[in-house]
Amino acid sequence: MTASRDPHFSFELFPPRTPPGWAKLPALINELARVKPSFFSVTYGAGGSDQNGTYDTLIKVVEQTGIEAAPHLTCVGSTRANIAALLQQYRDAGVKRIVALRGDLPATAMSSAARGEFRFANELIEFIRDAHGDAFALEVAAYPEIHPQATSPEADFDAFVRKVQAGADGAVTQYFYNADAYFDFAERCDRAGLKVPIVPGIMPIVNTQQLLRFSAACGAEVPRWVRLRLEAFGDDKRAVQDFGLEVVTRLCDTLLKNGAPGVHFYTLNQAEPTLKLWRNLGLPG
């Protein structure tokens, strides 16, 4: 598996949570692979998935398609020994890229032992670079609309700078629907002299309640006019999806025409919403 040089149109999958989800995975991967994304990434921990699910999904992508697959690796609750073992497993499997994250803290307070040996993602990046040099390309998370637990916008930006200084090669953003938030963030990166690509993470709109729930949890703002229009469609899924496609196509178009280095699609393990966006944007494949 070789790391692509221009990793800019990527698809995110999560490890299926049910046997029917696993049964559908090969067809989902094939459908998405047809347009030849730069790479796939596979989440870890989100929704209770375990590292075996991430590993198994990643191996399926690579074996079925030959396209690069990058595991997400979260460090919250982990020891250095756990992370070292996982990194070795990934290196042995030929992985060349990792999305390195802290991970979400549980809603209830955690003891420092339960929190693990890494406090923030920059410590994970340092650990990976110390142990493996440049063997992995490292992507980190960026938050144009500010991470929900940040003590201030400045502190959040400083935390991002620390991840880049620790050795990140690129960043993928939390999803957003305000293009200006992305451009403001990219401009701050420029002013701070950061040279890494900041790839916008894009969430297709397929289900109003799911979108509002995710957005409340991760701090993404759904603009009032978008929310009100989605809510007005009620149970009319077709209308929600058509409107969502229009809004998100326009967002991607604005981003790409104004300098964004690509798009990372949060596919939600559904091929059609992402592929419709892909076709609307006139991307090859």
Residue with token string 């006019």: 225
Show the binding pattern over residues 190-229: x = contacts ligand FAD (CB under 6 A), - = does not. Answer: -----------x----------------------------
With respect to ligand FAD, which residue has the nearer C-beta, 14 or 243?
Answer: 14
Contact present, 154 and 166 (Cβ < 8 Å): no
Interacting residue with ligand FAD among 15, 37, 103, 200 (CB under 6 A): 103
Output 172 or 240, the one with its CB closest to ligand FAD.
Answer: 172
Q: Among 38, 51, 78, 174, which residue interacts with ligand FAD (rule: CB under 6 A)?
A: 174
Single residue of 58, 159, 271, 277 touching ligand FAD by CB under 6 A: 159
Stretch of residues binding ligand FAD (CB under 6 A), selected from 44-52, 181-189, 220-228, 250-258: 44-52
Catalytic residue, candidates 12, 68, 139, 145: 12
Measured CA to CA in angstroms, residue 272 lies from 32, 44, 218, 276 at distances of 9, 23, 24, 6
CB neighbour list of residue 224: distance below 8 Å, 6 or more residues apart: none
16 belongs to the binding site for ligand FAD (CB under 6 A): no
Q: Which stretch binds ligand FAD (CB under 6 A): 156-164, 221-229, 233-241, 248-256?
A: 156-164
CB-count exposure of residue 199 (10 Å: 0-12, 13-18, 19+): buried
Q: Which listed residue (10, 38, 43, 267) binds ligand FAD by CB under 6 A?
A: 43
**Per-residue mark of binding to ligand FAD, 115-154 (x: CB under 6 A):** -----xx-------------------x-----x-xx----
Tell me how many residues contact ligand FAD (CB under 6 A): 24
Binding of residue 172 to ligand FAD (CB under 6 A): yes
Stretch binding ligand FAD (CB under 6 A), from 24-32, 41-49, 129-137, 244-252: 41-49
102 binds ligand FAD (CB under 6 A): yes
Is 126 one of the catalytic residues? no
Q: Does 97 contact ligand FAD by CB under 6 A? A: no
Residues near ligand FAD (CB under 6 A): 43-46, 72, 74, 99, 101-104, 120-121, 141, 147, 149-150, 155-156, 159, 163, 172, 174, 201
Catalytic residue list: 12
